[in-house]
């Protein structure tokens, strides 16, 4: 058990160093799609493309219907994802975690919403 904990601690440290060197936002580059709509949440991101230049394009849904695309800048620091949409006064910041490089967990209110890298 102690060996597993020691290995987990080493992995966490290595991941932290990797993300600090490479920049966490670069880990998100690509297209991500929602696994499923979050229960009870009428507005969510169905699909998003994060680009190397720090911009994003997202397709949100409200009540099951696609909404006009959102475009803007993003920043991911390993614990939070901030979306700054062009023409919007407020940024959207989500608690976030990246799992295995291909699953992005976003905290929306009291529930978790998952996006999978395509």
The token pair at 30 is 């690509």
| Structural domain that includes position 81 | 24-117
Q: What is the pTM of this model?
A: 0.76
**8-state DSSP, 64:** T
Structural domain includes residue 18: no
pLDDT for 64 equals 85
For position 17, what pLDDT does the model report?
43
For residues 88, 24, 103 and 50, what is the CA-based torsion angle, rounded to 10 degrees? 40
Domain-located, residue 19: no
Please name the residue that has the structure tokens 């490479």.
Answer: 22
CATH number for the domain including 110? 2.40.128.280
Q: For the chain, what is the domain count?
A: 1
Domain for residue 103, yes or no? yes
Beta bridge partners of 61: 44, 66
Q: Tens digit of pLDDT for each residue in 88-106? A: 888 999 999 999 999 999 9
Kindly state the tokens that stand for 6: 């020691």
For 4-56, what is each residue's pLDDT tens digit?
Answer: 666 555 555 444 444 443 467 888 999 999 999 888 888 889 999 999 999 99
Task: Write down the pLDDT at residue 68.
Answer: 93
- pLDDT of 113 > 70? The answer is yes
Give per-residue pLDDT as tens, 43-91.
Answer: 889 999 999 999 999 999 998 899 999 999 999 999 999 999 988 888 9
């Amino acid at each position: 058990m102690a060996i597993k904990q020691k290995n987990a601690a080493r992995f966490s440290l290595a991941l932290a160093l990797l993300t600090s060197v490479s920049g966490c936002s670069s880990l998100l580059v690509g297209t991500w799609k929602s696994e499923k709509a979050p229960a009870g949440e009428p507005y969510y991101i169905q699909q998003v493309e994060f680009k190397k230049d720090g911009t994003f394009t997202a397709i949100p849904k409200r009540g099951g219907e696609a909404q006009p695309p959102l475009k803007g800048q993003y920043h991911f620091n390993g614990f939070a994802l901030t979306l700054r949409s062009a023409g919007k006064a407020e940024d959207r910041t989500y608690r976030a975690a990246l799992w295995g490089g291909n699953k992005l967990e976003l905290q929306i209110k009291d529930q978790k919403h998952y996006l999978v890298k395509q």
